[in-house]
Amino acid sequence: MSLNLEQYVSEFSAQNINGEHLLQLDGSKLKALGMTSSQDRAIIKRRLKEMKASLEKARKAQEKMEKQREKLRKKEQEQLQRRSKKTDKCSSDATEGTNEQ
């Protein structure tokens, strides 16, 4: 509707075309859905291309964030392990000092 193609809404609805299905449509499928105007198909295909690019960009950004979070988790875990080893060493040194006395 935002593309001024509301004449196709009823057919798309009747065929249960949702966002996921819409991204799978190509020119021949659009034509089969009753979109006879090549200009209208071109508008839809251009917009779908833009949407796919936007989705891919968002997916890559999400993956990057997840990698950064994983890297941070590993770093924190390594710091905890180092602290734990330090604490264990200090405890054993203190125990040895007590035993020597």
Domain count, the chain: 1
Domain extent, residue 21, equals 7-83
Q: Cβ–Cβ contacts within 10 Å for residue 46, how many?
A: 11
Residue 95, pLDDT score? 61
Residue 28, pLDDT score? 92
CATH of the domain at 36: 1.10.150.50
3-state class (DSSP) for residue 33: coil
Is 47 part of a structural domain of the chain? yes
What is the distance between the alpha carbons of residues 10 and 8, in angstroms, rounded to a whole number?
6
Is 97 part of a structural domain of the chain? no
Is 89 part of a structural domain of the chain? no
Q: How far is CA 46 from CA 14, 25, 40, 49, in A?
A: 23, 12, 10, 5
pTM, two decimal places: 0.61
Cβ atoms of 35 and 8 closer than 8 Å? yes
Q: Provide the residue-wise pLDDT of the chain in tens; the chain has 101 residues.
A: 788 888 988 888 899 998 888 888 999 999 999 999 999 999 999 999 999 999 999 999 999 999 999 999 999 999 998 888 877 777 766 666 555 55
Residue 18, pLDDT score? 87
Residue 85, pLDDT score? 81
Q: Which pairs count as long-range contacts for 6-13, CB under 8 Å and 24+ apart, including other chains?
A: 8/33, 8/34, 8/35, 8/40
